[in-house]
A and B are shown apart, each in its own frame.
Chain A
Amino acid sequence: MTDIESFRTETRDWLKANCPPEMREPMRSEADACWGGRNAVFQSDAQRQWMETMAERGWTVPHWPRDYGGGGLSTAEAKVLKEEMARIGARSPLTSFGISMLGPALLKFGTEEQKRHFLPQIARGEIRWCQGYSEPGAGSDLAGLATKAEDKGDHWLINGQKVWTSYADKADWIFCLVRTSTESKHQGISFVLFDMMTPGVSTKPILLISGSSPFCETFFDDVKVPKDQVVGEVNRGWDVAKYLLGHEREMIAGMGLGGIGGPGAGSLGAALNLDNPLLRADLAAFDVDALAFAAMSERFFEMFKAGEAHPASPSMMKYAGTELNKRRHELVMAAGGSDALEWDSDRSKNGKSARDWLRTKGNSIEGGTSEIQLNIVAKHILGLPGA
């Protein structure tokens, strides 16, 4: 038996023995995810146990080095673990912006001390993170951000406001872009980390067109941050941010797959009530595009892993995936007729169709608008002038 085959056998046995049956049930919604954190609210003992058992083995972050709380698995082993988890329908033990966003940035830009301090906490789900990027005056033009960090000798003094901070009201720490110099737009930004309990930090939830949301406004009023909590060089935070945005776009692009070509998913046309030939035609056209995008996603991830994808290609994926998802929900609404317009009935599951449809409108705005993604493709892939 080769090493990878025996790894598969061991993994299969271990998962069988350690993954609680409740954690093999499909997740019903985002609320079923395990987010961890200082004030973690576990839905069940099984959820807590699953997170802790996996964390102990380093398998909340299987591909991170063991020194930082990871599993130290090779790419092939991590793939096997993923496959074996999928085989039994095991839920992700821990959902975390620390894992998906901050971790990769720390691994690339963090000091050894920062890595040893922060990464194991992320891996064990002890600290829940949020991301402070956008500001009321800095959306698409993110580098125009104005939240100010003044050098006060032994600490930074931060004043300003962030917006669209997901789960800021539940997060323990924030990774945040702040202006440390006004001499250069892009090279005057730093990437800082601080505790949300620090005096002067406050949050306020944002109500969306679709209803309540994880988004918050986050305010900083004379917040003191220790000097060693900058990731990367001072004034070079934009490099970190750009690297991290690449990860975020990949993640959002994956949403285009939501229910399409994924496990157990099928055709949208087959899922809906079709009583009109013109609607059927639109759905067939959509299914073609959705299946085509699923093939693209598969190829994209293979190319990305093999280092063959163009560095700007996540922008193409994000654009295509989110536009597709919006179209999907337009069709769901069209097929649903007036049933789909009910907002608060039990029959409509509290207006699920309408709320989901409205929420997708943000997909092509958050994480960089479609127009920004097209700018990136035009400039970096097509090499068009002045883009």
Chain B
Amino acid sequence: MPLLTDDQKMLQETASSFLAEEGSITKQLRQWRDSGCTDGYGSDLWKQFGELGLTGICIPEEQGGLGLGAVEATLVLEEIGRNLTPSPFLTTAVVGAKAIAGTAHAERWYPGILSGEAVLTLAVDENRRHAPEQTALTAERRGNGFVLNGTKQFVVHGNSADVMLTVARTAGSPGEESGLTLFAVPKGAAGVESVTLADSSKAARLAFNNVELDADAVVGDVDNGWAPLSRALDAGRVGAAAELVGVAAGASTMTVDYLKQRKQFGKLIGEFQSLQHRAAHLYGEIEIARACALKAAELIDSGDAKAELMVAVAKAKAADVASLSVREGVQMHGGIGMTDEHDIGLYLKREAVLGELFGDVYYHRNKVAELSGY
């Protein structure tokens, strides 16, 4: 695995200073949470993402983007995770941009993504568990178009998104990978129930009751949505893994700093070996999770057949490690860690949501087993 190039390091530095400055917990997460913002993120910040070119990371150069790939996206997402920055970056600039790549929808939506105005999201889950092949929401042909019936949930930014890339069944039965089709569902077409999640982010439950869509709402080919969906999901999973690495790293930095400040029994608590060993173990785990996310991203970018396996490994590992980091973080902070005033608890909440997004640890461990042949 090659190390980061100079260009990638520059991008990382740009993202790091931009998000530490503009995307901080005080300026963004707490601001929107405490002001009751219905979007759950700042639209000005999203425009700044656009001005810096970051929203175009996965968009080809000839269409105005940076023409980079999953590796570069992970660099940005780790910084988003570290600062707990609420942002539609993952669903729009990574998952959305990948899902519509090479289709007519790209021409329609790429300009808005590039300027940091459009927000895209993926509507895939229908149950409390991620299981895309179990899609039951139906899209039946009617006239020149389709009629959609069914429900979706855990649609991140679903209440504010301009377009919801919705997975529907056009053939076959739940459990089958074939017969799925991806539709670009515009805002307002489906019924939206806005839900605030534990981390103060906004998701939506969608209700499709005879929602009529034109045939040109189809993204890619009818009945053959599995491959493009998997590509978009895998990009999202690696992205979520990278964001989780950032969450883990942010929480552990905060915790290690606390171990160097807090005194009990006349000593800095960081002098106690029981805490030192747990912090040192966590350090190694975070390094491993990061290496894994980078490796998976690299395999995606090079079109390697092993990408699918490594994506599952990366998502499972990052969720495991981030969970460890935030749990240890709250525990080592003691009482102050339980207060809303302290930021460490915000990491715990964010980890829970990201850990679930696009398949939890059990989903991905199971996938590793299946792909390995057991």
Contacts and interface: CB of A to CB of B under 8 A. Distances in A.
Given A267-B373, A292-B289, A296-B291, A320 B284 contact: yes
B265 to A, nearest CB: 13
Contacts of A319: 280-281, 284
Nearest to A386: B271
Interface stretch (B36-44, B120-128, B217-225, B361-369): B361-369
Given A274-B374, A285-B365, A382 B280 contact: yes
A291 B310 contact: yes
A385 B369 contact: no
In the complex, which of the residues B260, B285, B287 has the most CB atoms of chain A within 10 Å of its own CB atom?
A: B287
Contact of A288 (B270, B277, B287, B368): B368
Given A284-B365, A291-B309, A295-B292, A384 B259 contact: yes
B267 to A, nearest CB: 8
B317 A289 contact: yes
A234 interface: no
B295 A295 contact: yes
Interface string B238-280: 0000000000000000001001100000011011010011011
A26 B301 CA distance: 33
Contacts of A269: 369, 372, 374
Contacts of B364: 288
Contact of A374 (B267, B280, B320): B280
Interface string B276-316: 11011101110111011011100000000000011011101
Interface stretch (A78-86, A139-147, A301-309): A301-309
Contact of A384 (B279, B294, B316): B279
A378 B365 contact: no
A381 interface: yes
Contacts, number: 135
B288 A296 contact: yes
A302 B3 contact: yes
Contacts of B310: 291, 295
Contacts of A289: 317
Contacts of A303: 3
Nearest to B315: A288
Nearest to A288: B316
A316 B373 contact: no
Contacts of A281: 365
Nearest to B364: A288
A169 interface: no
A386 B268 contact: yes
Contacts of B335: none
Given A267-B374, A292-B317, A374-B281, A385 B368 contact: no
A288 B1 contact: no
A280 B374 contact: yes
B268 A378 contact: no
A383 B260 CA distance: 9
A353 B1 CA distance: 33
A218 B3 CA distance: 44
A185 B288 CA distance: 36
Contacts of B374: 267, 269-270, 274, 280, 283
A387 B276 contact: yes
Contacts of A267: 368-369, 372-374
Given A283-B374, A285-B365, A308-B3, A293 B260 contact: no
B143 interface: no
Interface-central residue, A267, A285, A378, by most chain B CB under 10 Å: A378
A371 interface: yes
Contacts of A280: 369, 374
A281 B369 CA distance: 8
Interface string A243-277: 00000000000000000000000110110001000
A5 to B, nearest CB: 19
Nearest to A272: B374
A56 B256 CA distance: 53
B2 interface: yes
A288 B317 contact: yes
A330 interface: no
A270 B372 contact: yes
12 contacts: A267-B368, A280-B369, A281-B365, A287-B313, A288-B364, A288-B365, A299-B291, A302-B1, A308-B3, A377-B283, A381-B280, A387-B273
Given A378-B276, A384-B271, 20 more contacts: A269-B369, A270-B374, A287-B372, A291-B309, A292-B288, A292-B314, A295-B295, A299-B294, A316-B280, A316-B283, A316-B284, A319-B280, A375-B277, A378-B277, A383-B260, A384-B270, A384-B276, A385-B270, A386-B267, A387-B273
